[in-house]
Structure 1
């Protein structure tokens, strides 16, 4: 009896102690990165700093013309690696240069089938949700019905739905649709670029981040914690002698001291604009000060290695 009471006491103590144990809380400040790859997810995942990234978007996973997706065990491997490191993984559809037939898949005749196929892929490989990165002409009269249907199916299976949105196309998104997203990845960049050579200048200035946050939080009423501020890891050039577009690592490879400022001028008269580590840190600090849910990075593989890494600047901004 004494032995039984002693064991019972030990078990009671263990249970009481266990009641006080909780899982690690959700990060108060998320760092989401788009892994932009042509199905080479494995090599792209190798260099990810899992001590910083809390969410990964595989960009982009596109359907065929019928709205169906092929099998790819790389998705399962990516999900497992991320989950093992405490991160979430989303399949991202669309992008800035999507297949032209996505417009047809959003129409009533194929909408339900495509939404069903998306959710089926999420369930098959264990994705945490879907990132809707439908832009430009795809934000049309079929956008809202498609998002509503996709949301209905995803929420039924307990998965998340996010969106990549800018402020310039925000007025095309109704409050009803905006409320369906668990958060938005705010594309606070591309104010100009190679498509608009008559408007040379910084494509992602600090003032744009301030304005974009104001639009979605204050004008549209989106809770601050549902906004992830987008940070560009690339630059655009304008004028003679300037490269049209470079990833950040390419900029430093060609011009090693470029990290000291946000632009480079060329003898021929052209200028290359990008975000330096100092500007990325300042924007990260802004996101924290404004109570945002975190930051979003386009894109992971565009960063450089070493002390001048833009991800290192994000880390400093989170301190």
Structure 2
């Protein structure tokens, strides 16, 4: 009986040990294949995909769309949405180097324009000069006298630096119309040099508006406007006034700003900058947003008035209205000019004057902005297979 008890105990122990061993074997048999599989997969390749830094491509300068706004215009009526810069026109230089504005309304408009521009995250610039002076006649004599003398030139530089700080401006645009001699060009260059040093020290921009320098009929260079090319190295943008060709060789409204005129202007300025090793992305091609009447006794009309008359006029460059023929740049021409500027390395486009533009989908600023935005390149992520060993 006692022997049988021992046999029973031994039998139970054997069963227990056998079951325990079987459990371990079973567990190993279910885990092992997975671990072997992973090891086998890893052994198939010593390389693994890793993220690679984007290639170091040269930074493309952002394209600008600069719009001038006249001092009498209500800043709240201006469409800022397509612009990168808005330029308030004008402050007027006096012969002693002081600065004048066209009354309290102009100052109030300037301040409101700055506020509106900054709300839209665009730069607000003050233009100095222009064709007419508020005291009457051309601005030329006032501007020329101010910059020809070292003392008055320095005073004007300080006046402009002061107004930039007081009015929270992003820079100054110089519109001296026009340097007519070698001495004029020399004085303008000295003035630009001094003003640039002051503005750049405060991280402000400086641009200069320039004559197209091309005869609208012959396409040859004019000799009655003179610049020192080295001056352009001291500015951020050169706004080329590629319009008003109707005055070249007598009044001819069809020469306002045709595409062929723009081609000659772009070629001239691109070659000039190349020959002096100046970056062409400083160049900005100007376009008019007004229509020139065939009869010089009749006033110009805005592009907005042309579209309000008939929206189909957006597809034209010439219309007959109220018995008069008007010449202008329609949407197709504006887009073509924008591509012309970009294809020649220009930094963008300039508009005279934003308040003349049509509203909404017929806006020429909007049409140009569409072309400029389509030139942007989206950066993509690059990956490569890197050896993990």
* TM-score, normalising length: structure 2: 0.66
In 2, Cα distance between equivalents of 1:310 and 1:173: 31
2:192 to 123, 147, 150: 147
Q: What's the counterpart of residue 292 of structure 1?
A: 346
- Supply the RMSD in Å over aligned alpha carbons: 2.9
Question: Compared with structure 1, are the counterparts of its residues 303 and 74 closer, same or farther at alpha carbon in structure 2 (3 Å cutoff)?
Answer: closer
* Alignment partner of 1:105 is 2:150: no
Q: Which residue is equivalent to 1:114?
A: 156
Could you tell me whether the CA contact under 8 Å between 1:163 and 1:183 is conserved in 2? yes
The CA deviation at 1:237 is: 1.3
From 284, 291, 298, give the equivalent of 1:235.
Answer: 291
Counterpart mapping for 1:135-214 below 5 A: 135-136=177-178, 140-141=184-185, 142-168=187-213, 172-193=226-247, 196-197=250-251, 199-214=252-267
Residue by residue, what CA displacement relative to the aligned partner does 1:155-177 show, whole Å, maximum 9, x if unpaired?
23332110111331696111221
Aligned residue in 1 for 2:174: 132
Instruction: Report the CA distance between 1:266 and its aligned residue.
Output: 6.6
Q: Which residue of 1 aligns with 2:83?
A: 53
Aligned to 2:357: 303
SS of aligned partner of 2:159: helix
TM-aligned CA deviation for residue 59 of structure 1: 0.8
Partner of 2:307: 252
Give the distance between the partners of 1:265 and 1:68, measured in 2 at CA.
Answer: 42
Secondary structure, in 3 states, of the residue corresponding to 1:62? strand
CA shift for structure 1 position 62: 2.3
Kindly tell me: are residues 150 and 315 of structure 1, through their superposed partners in 2, closer, same or farther at Cα, counting changes over 3 Å? Answer: closer
Residue by residue over 1:195-237, the C-alpha shift from the partner in whole angstroms, topping out at 9 and shown as x without a partner, is 932x342311112222222212223324221111112101111
Rounded to whole Å, the distance in 2 between the matches of 1:194 and 1:256 is 31
SS of structure 2 residue aligned to 1:196? coil
For 2:195 and 2:147, locate their aligned partners in 1 and report how far apart those are by CA, in whole Å: 10
Return closer, same or farther for 1:304/1:200 CA change in 2, 3 Å cut-off. closer
Q: 1:132 deviation in Å?
A: 0.5
Alignment TM-score, normalising by the size of structure 1:
0.79
Determine if the alignment matches structure 1 residue 313 to structure 2 residue 343: no
**Displacement of 1:247:** 1.4
Please report how far the alpha carbon of residue 273 of structure 1 lies from its aligned counterpart in structure 2 after TM superposition. 0.7
1:225 alignment partner in structure 2: 281
In structure 2, distance between residues paired with 1:151 and 1:311? 29
Which residue in 1 is equivalent to 2:334?
280
Separation in 1, partners of 2:71, 2:189? 28
Q: CA deviation at 1:274?
A: 0.4
Deviation at 1:46, TM superposition (A): 4.0
Note the 1:30-109 alignment, pairs <5 A. Answer: 30-38=64-72, 40=73, 43-50=74-81, 52-63=82-93, 66=96, 67-69=98-100, 72=107, 74-99=109-134, 100=139, 101-108=142-149, 109=151
Shift of 1:64: 5.3
Distance 2:330 2:109 in 1: 33
Q: Which has the larger radius of gyration?
A: 2
Match of 1:16? none
State the distance in 2 between where 1:26 and 1:121 align.
Answer: 32
**d(CA) in 2 for partners of 1:226, 1:311:** 20
Is this contact kept in 2: 1:103–1:138, CA < 8 A? Answer: no
Counterpart secondary structure, 1:204? coil
Which residues of structure 1 form unaligned runs of 5+? 1-24
1:29 maps to which residue?
63
Find the aligned partners of 2:110 and 2:80 in 1 and give their Cα distance: 19
CA contact (8 A) 2:273 2:280 kept: no
